Amino acid sequence: MAASGLLLQLRRRAGAAVADGFFTGLSRVGKLHPLANPARHGLEVLRDQSYTDSGRVEHRFDVYRPAERSGPLPALLYVHGGAFRILSKDSHWVFGLGFARRGFVVFSINYRLSPRHPFPAAVQDACAAYRFVAENAARFGADPQRLVIAGESAGANLVSALAVSACFARDEPWARQVYETGVVPRAALPACGVFQVSDQARFQRRRPHKIGAFLNDRLREVEDSYLRPARLDADHHLELADTLSVFASDRPSDRPLPPFFLGVGTADPLLDDSRRLHAALQARGATSELRIYPRQPHAFHALVMLPAARQYWRDQDAFLAQVPGLDLPKR
C-alpha cells in the first residue's frame, strides 16, 4: 500500500475513534440525569426483547410505553442512527422516552452493523423487526394499524427503506415480508437522513468550503463500510440503500405513501438529501413536511435540553396530530 493510502487509512481510523467515543460518551453522560429515569415520566421499559429467534444481541429491542394505559396505543418502530456501524438502542434511549411520552408504544431496535455486516444486513433486520411489530404489537399494548416509523441519520435511511418496502411490491425477500404484512405506516419520521449511501463524495463536491477533511472522511467511511464489502445479487438491490432512486423514479407505488416529516439543520452536512427527498415526495403527490432549523448540526434534536431541539419536537408533535387515523392521546 502506498504511503499516502496508509496515512489516509490511519487518519480515518483516528477520526472514527474520536467520533465514536463522542457519541457513546454523550449518551452515557445523559443517562446520569434524573430525568432519564422512565418512571419520572410515567413510563415503563421492557428491555432486551427479541424480534427474531436468532439469539443475537443485534436482534433485540426495548419497549417504552406509558405505565397506565386504557387501551391499545399507536405503535412506533424506532431505528437508531450511527453511520450503520456504531451505537445501539441503548445509546438512543432519549428517543424511546420522547416518543413514549407522546403516547406511543415504542419498539426501539438493534440491528447488525457494518463493516462486519454490510448492506443489506441492516435492511434485512429492520424489515424483520417491522414484520414482528406488525404481527405482535398487540402483545405489548399497541395497535399495529396505527404504526409510525422513525429514525435519524442511518436510521432515517432504514426507515425510508421500510416505507419503500411497505408501499412497493419488490422482489427482495426481506422487503416482501414487509409488504405482505399489509400494514402501511401511518407516518414516516426520517430525521437528518442520508437517503443515498453511494457517492458520498457528492457532499464535498457541492459544498467544498463547508465539508473539510474530517467530515469528508466520516461521510466516505459510511459508504466504504456499508456498501463496499456487500455482495449484491442484482444492481437494483442497491435501491434500498439509495432510496432516493426509488422515490425520484417514475415507478408508481403499489400503495399510497405515508406522510413524511423531514427535519434537518442548516449546519448538517446531509441537508441536501432531505431537500431532495422532500422534492421527490412532492413530485409524487405524497404529503411531505420539510422543516429546516437554522445553524443546527446533525442530529441536534437528540439534545432535548436545547431550544432548537424542543422546537423540533413541538413541530413533529403538531405534524403527528394531523395524521389521519393515528389518534394520539390528548395531551
Residue 72 in this model has a pLDDT that exceeds 70: yes
More confident residue, 36 or 284: 284
C-beta separation of 258 from 163 below 8 A: yes
Tell me the HSE value of 30 on the side-chain side, using a 13 A CA sphere: 18
Which residue pairs, CB below 8 angstroms and at least 24 apart, start in 237-241? Answer: 237/120, 237/172, 238/119, 238/198, 239/164, 240/119, 240/120, 240/123, 240/161, 240/164, 240/165, 240/172, 240/175, 241/119, 241/120, 241/123, 241/157, 241/161, 241/196, 241/197, 241/198
Please give the average per-residue pLDDT across 6-15, as a whole number.
53
The rounded percent of the chain whose pLDDT value lies above 90 is 79
More confident residue, 206 or 92: 92
pLDDT tens-digit series, residues 229-239: 776 665 567 89
Of how many residues is the chain composed?
Answer: 331
State the pLDDT at residue 237: 78
- CA angle 11/12/17 to nearest 5° reads 100
Nearest CA among 57, 90, 95 for reference residue 76:
95
pLDDT tens-digit series, residues 291-310: 999 999 999 999 999 999 99
Residue 104 in this model has a pLDDT that exceeds 90: yes
pLDDT tens-digit series, residues 146-190: 999 999 999 999 999 999 999 999 999 999 999 999 999 999 999
Instruction: Kindly state the cell numbers that stand for 203.
Output: 457532499
Burial environment of residue 160 by CB neighbours within 10 A (0 to 12, 13 to 18, 19 or more) = buried
Enter the DSSP assignment of 184. P
More confident residue, 32 or 132: 132
Instruction: Kindly state the cell numbers that stand for 132.
Output: 414482528
State the pLDDT at residue 36: 82
Integer angstrom CA distances of residue 161 from 67, 214, 225, 294: 31, 28, 18, 28
Please give the domain boundaries of the chain with CATH numbers for all domains: 36-321 (3.40.50.1820)
How far apart are the C-alpha atoms of 291 and 316, rounded to whole Å? 9
State the pLDDT at residue 214: 77
More confident residue, 27 or 54: 54
Omega before residue 120 within 30° of 0, cis: yes
Residue with cell 405506516: 185
Instruction: Kindly state the cell numbers that stand for 102.
Output: 407522546
How far apart are the C-alpha atoms of 286 and 282, rounded to whole Å? 5
If phi > 0 it is left, if psi is from -120 to 50 it is alpha, else beta; for residue 260 that is beta
State the pLDDT at residue 235: 57
State the pLDDT at residue 32: 54
Please give the average per-residue pLDDT across 134-142, as a whole number.
98
**DSSP element (H, E) containing 276:** helix 271-283
State the pLDDT at residue 213: 79
How far apart are the C-alpha atoms of 239 and 216, rounded to whole Å? 23
pLDDT tens-digit series, residues 208-267: 777 777 788 888 889 999 998 776 665 567 899 999 999 999 999 999 999 999 999 999
C-beta separation of 222 from 295 below 8 A: no
Question: Beta 187-191 vs 73-79: how paired, if at all?
Answer: unpaired
C-beta separation of 163 from 170 below 8 A: no
Q: What is the pTM of this model?
A: 0.92
Q: Residue 101's pLDDT band (boundaries 50, 70, 90)?
A: very high
State the pLDDT at residue 209: 74
pLDDT tens-digit series, residues 183-207: 999 999 999 999 999 999 898 888 8
- CA angle 135/226/182 to nearest 5° reads 20
Least confident of 6-15, 72-81, 120-129, 318-327: 6-15
What residues pair up with 46 in beta bridges, in sequence order?
Answer: 63
How far apart are the C-alpha atoms of 75 and 58, rounded to whole Å? 21
Residue 61 in this model has a pLDDT that exceeds 60: yes
